[in-house]
Amino acid sequence: MMREKLLRLMAGRNGNDELNRFLLYADVAVLLLAMIFSRSLGRVLMPLALIVLGITYFRMFSRNLMRRSEENGKYLILRSRVRATLRLWKDQWVQRKDYKFFVCPACKTTLRVPKGRGKIKIVCRKCGNSFTGKS
């Protein structure tokens, strides 16, 4: 009976998407920080946590599905960019002993060249631009 009422309430509403999950996790983190730093920083963090929670519930119960879908799509694109950047940094860190990394000045692509070759001419595979660098 209660489940049916909840299903009727949520019919035609946005519900919980990836952006809402992120906002909820961020809200829990802010609440934990507010509890840890209750005297000094807690006075600022607690209202911030309530604002984030309000935004989350607003998005969850919203009937404007098109707008919420656009917001979620933008969040997913941003998240994939951040993950790709973190993955690139990790790969560069793991390979730092064997390779040196350069950024193409024309297209900003990260290029990898073997270390210990001296001054070399580097050709970008993406745009064909060439430049020199010391490996």
Question: Both 54 and 107 in a single domain?
Answer: no
Residue 60 and residue 85 in contact, taking contact as beta carbons nearer than 8 Å: no
Question: Both 6 and 65 in a single domain?
Answer: yes
pTM for the full predicted model: 0.72
Residue 63 and residue 10 in contact, taking contact as beta carbons nearer than 8 Å: no
Question: Both 8 and 44 in a single domain?
Answer: yes
Give the pLDDT of residue 11: 72
Residue 119 and residue 130 in contact, taking contact as beta carbons nearer than 8 Å: no
Q: Structural domain of residue 63, as residue ranges?
A: 2-94
Question: Both 90 and 127 in a single domain?
Answer: no
Question: Both 70 and 133 in a single domain?
Answer: no
Nearest to 55 by CA among 36, 30, 80, 34: 30
Q: Pick out the chain residues at pLDDT < 70.
A: 10
Give the pLDDT of residue 61: 86
Give the pLDDT of residue 65: 87
Give the pLDDT of residue 128: 86
Mind listing the pLDDT tens digit for each residue in 82-103? 999 999 999 999 999 999 999 8
